[in-house]
Amino acid sequence: MTGAFAGAQYQLHRNRTPLLVLSLLIGVTLITHQFTPFPLSYFDISSNLGTGGGLALASMGLALVVLTRGIDLSVGAIVSLVSVFVGSTMTDSPVNQFVVSVLGLLIGAGAGAVNGFLIAYLRIQPIVVTLATLFILQGAALLVMPIPGGYVTSEFINFFAGDAIPNLLPAALVVILSAIALWMLLRNSRLGMAIYAIGSDEAAAAANGVKTAKVKFLAYTIAGGFYGASGLFITAQAGGSDPLVGSSMLIQVFTAVVLGGTSLAGGRGGLVGPVFGAFLLMSTVNTLMVFSMPTYLSPIFDGAILILAVVLSSLMSENSLLHNLSDIVRQVRGSLAAPRLRAHRPMAETSPDGAMPHASFRVLHAENIRQVLPALGAFLVIVAVTFAFFGNLGADYVRSLLLLTALLGVLGFGQATVIITGGLDLSIPWAITLCAVVFSSLVDGSDAALLWSVPTVIGLGLTVGLVNGLGVIILGLPPLVMTLAVNGILQGLTLFYTNGSPKGFSPPLLLWFVSGNVLGLQPVVWAFIPFVILATIFLTATAAGRQLYALGNSAVVANLSGINVRLTTVLAYMICGASTALAAVLLVGFNGASTLSMGDQYLLPSVAVVVAGGVLITGGRGHYPGVVCGVLMLIALQILIGGTMLPDAFRSIILGCVLMAALLALREGRVSS
């Protein structure tokens, strides 16, 4: 009896987070319905299950990947691709509906298998692999179905959205319980135990005979199957297909996983908690509707809940929030008291006669040259192909190439600074948009207002970077999660600020600076030259710049060397925020005004140019001139794509392929066996 009681206590302690989330879900649901004119009914329960079921299935897939200490950004794109496949191929035939459903699951699993192969066997970083496949698969979805539509049968809809037992058992509940049962079987299998072992300590798992590459590959493949099931479920619930249905799911899926108690560090948690987390998250949307609150608050809630969930997790861990805060204070005091570190170049060996040898430029910079050659070579090839297709390129081509290079180059500097430290900034899309709409409303066509509006917007960018950096160092959030949450919050703040309609326009002086003519080129192009020089000097010839590289190579070694790791991290994100704000100002000058979609197209390019330019995605290697070469290559490719009149979806696919090719060309390490 005592043993049974102890076992029950252990199970309660082990599953305390999912049980807590379930309790919160029940409480929020009951409280919310106290403010509705009708009592909670079977229809309400069935509707809530249908609304959150797709998110729950996708969250289960991501949680499986996270258990292996992995990351998957392609969740929404896979859901979208499966959705449009269903809507474009389904007929009234029962056989067709069954085959389409099975193929939808296989498409999801196949996409996951591609991710798993690149990550497990080629050892490419999961963040960038899944970012590239996100854009490739999203482009493929838009090619299949550019606008929402398609045909979905009533039988298919009823299978997911109807009643398994009329007025007693919702079909959505059966689907979710079936997915949970599948997880229970997997969890107690050898594969399930290997997944937990890899997430806890991959090296120890490998030493004990676990085939880590195979297990990771299978985890991503099975996760893709869950995403495919989510695509089927969401399509049935909506009664049609949408190529962008998964585009807003990423932050919600991550939030559900964290809420459900699955550790982002891997090896702890499960797939049941994220199901409850998904339904709890969707209940906030219902709460907004009940209280007639603006829908733009939803992304703010999503981001805030994600951060709050990680804060609570941090408070319950050894690496607590209070420990981080005290450590920061101690480091700040130490940095004020200690002498500044000086950046030294390695001392060259002397020749036998005592004279210093004069190494050639090629020898001194051989590694940097090797890193930049792929991007530079690809740029020259693209220009040659463009010339072959369109003949004499002329001055207009050069002006367009250099102008767009300057705009993206400024943004690339900020992302490169963060990536050099081993981080990543996913808040760029809505940081650009927020800075742009604030700037255009402040300046409102006035040249005189530039004097104070530009510094104000740069300060706004610095603030966004400061928030990102503090979230990483204080809360202990992975940069991916912190910046993703901030991106959602910025989206809500932007919609609140503009009320859905940006105001103001670019002043004449800014229009001239971006589009005018000085000695045959735009003034911004001439200004970009000293920007490149100063940025390169900062990264390679200053103490602060060298500390960024040291942090990217090893935070532990950097800390032992006397570098203030936490403040250096914040510095990197603040530089990125300032660069993003400056890019937003220039984009307003380029477009003449701001739009709510201004930043959407810049996330993948900002990462692609950095990686293609030779910056190691894990940090510690690369330089800004290489990034500029990556920008030249990407802009030349975009101009070539634009001239061929291909659908816009091809641009997303090609950019994703470029990023993938850069990863393959510049990757390090041996292929896993």
Instruction: Tell me if 609 sits within 8 A of 103, measured CB to CB.
Output: no
pLDDT digits (tens, 9 = 90+) for 509-528: 999 999 998 888 899 999 99
d(CA 202, CA 550): 25
The one-letter code for the residue type at 367 is: E
Give the domain CATH number at 634. 1.10.3470
Most confident of the ranges 69-73, 362-366, 533-537: 533-537
Residues 109 and 219 reside in one and the same domain: yes
Q: What integer pLDDT is reported at residue 302 of this predicted model? A: 76
d(CA 62, CA 64): 5
Listing DSSP states for 289-356 in one string gives HHTT--TTHHHHHHHHHHHHHHHHHHHTSSS-HHHHHHHHHHHHHHHHHSPPP---PPPPPPPTTSPP
Q: pTM of this prediction?
A: 0.82
Residues 331 and 431 reside in one and the same domain: yes
Residues 208 and 329 reside in one and the same domain: no
Q: Round the CA-based radius of gyration of the chain to a whole number and report it.
A: 26
Number of compact structural domains in the chain: 2
Instruction: Tell me if 171 sits within 8 A of 160, measured CB to CB.
Output: yes
Long-range contacts of residues 542-551, Cβ cutoff 8 Å, at least 24 apart: 542/343, 543/340, 543/341, 543/342, 543/343, 544/568, 544/571, 545/343, 546/343, 547/341, 548/417, 548/420, 548/421, 548/572, 549/420, 549/620, 549/621, 550/620, 551/421, 551/422, 551/619, 551/620
pLDDT digits (tens, 9 = 90+) for 328-358: 445 444 444 444 444 444 434 444 444 445 5
Q: Is 170 helix (H, G, I), strand (E, B) or coil?
A: strand
Last residue of some domain: 208, 231, 247? 247
Q: What integer pLDDT is reported at residue 338 of this predicted model? A: 43
Last residue of some domain: 198, 223, 247? 247
In a domain? residue 371 = yes
The one-letter code for the residue type at 472 is: V
At residue 2, does pLDDT exceed 60? no
In a domain? residue 16 = no
Instruction: Tell me if 539 sits within 8 A of 545, measured CB to CB.
Output: yes
Q: Is 624 helix (H, G, I), strand (E, B) or coil?
A: helix
Cβ-based burial of 195 (10 A; exposed 0-12, middle 13-18, buried ≥19): buried
Please give the residue range of the domain that contains residue 588.
321-338+367-666
At residue 84, does pLDDT exceed 90? yes
Lowest mean pLDDT among 135-144, 496-505, 517-526: 496-505
At residue 35, does pLDDT exceed 80? no
In a domain? residue 296 = no
In a domain? residue 260 = no
pLDDT digits (tens, 9 = 90+) for 613-633: 888 888 888 889 989 998 998
Alpha carbon distance, N-terminus to C-terminus of the chain: 49
Lowest mean pLDDT among 101-105, 462-466, 586-590, 666-670: 666-670
Q: What integer pLDDT is reported at residue 10 of this predicted model? A: 46
Lowest mean pLDDT among 1-10, 234-243, 452-461: 1-10
Q: What integer pLDDT is reported at residue 166 of this predicted model? A: 82
Q: Is 439 helix (H, G, I), strand (E, B) or coil?
A: helix
pLDDT digits (tens, 9 = 90+) for 56-70: 999 999 999 999 998
Most confident of the ranges 280-289, 325-334, 557-566: 557-566
Which one, of 503, 647, 656, lies nearest residue 118 by Cα?
A: 656
In a domain? residue 333 = yes
In a domain? residue 274 = no
In a domain? residue 589 = yes
Residues 243 and 325 reside in one and the same domain: no
Residues 242 and 387 reside in one and the same domain: no
d(CA 436, CA 581): 8
d(CA 561, CA 559): 5
Q: Which residue has the higher pLDDT, 673 or 599?
A: 599
Q: Is 151 helix (H, G, I), strand (E, B) or coil?
A: coil
At residue 324, does pLDDT exceed 70? no
At 557, the pLDDT band (50, 70, 90 cuts) reads confident
Residues 495 and 585 reside in one and the same domain: yes
Residues 442 and 577 reside in one and the same domain: yes
In a domain? residue 581 = yes
Interval 406-430 mean pLDDT? 92
Residues 533 and 436 reside in one and the same domain: yes
Residues 660 and 571 reside in one and the same domain: yes
Helices assigned H by DSSP within 117-169: 126-144, 154-161
Residues 471 and 600 reside in one and the same domain: yes
At 327, the pLDDT band (50, 70, 90 cuts) reads low
Mean pLDDT score of the chain: 82
Q: Is 621 helix (H, G, I), strand (E, B) or coil?
A: coil
Last residue of some domain: 197, 224, 247? 247
Non-local CB neighbours of 255 within 8 Å, separated by 6+ positions: 277, 281, 302, 305, 306, 309, 485
Residues 425 and 542 reside in one and the same domain: yes
At residue 246, does pLDDT exceed 70? yes
Residues 494 and 635 reside in one and the same domain: yes
At residue 213, does pLDDT exceed 60? yes
Interval 412-425 mean pLDDT? 92
Non-local CB neighbours of 422 within 8 Å, separated by 6+ positions: 551, 552, 555, 618, 619, 620
d(CA 361, CA 96): 65
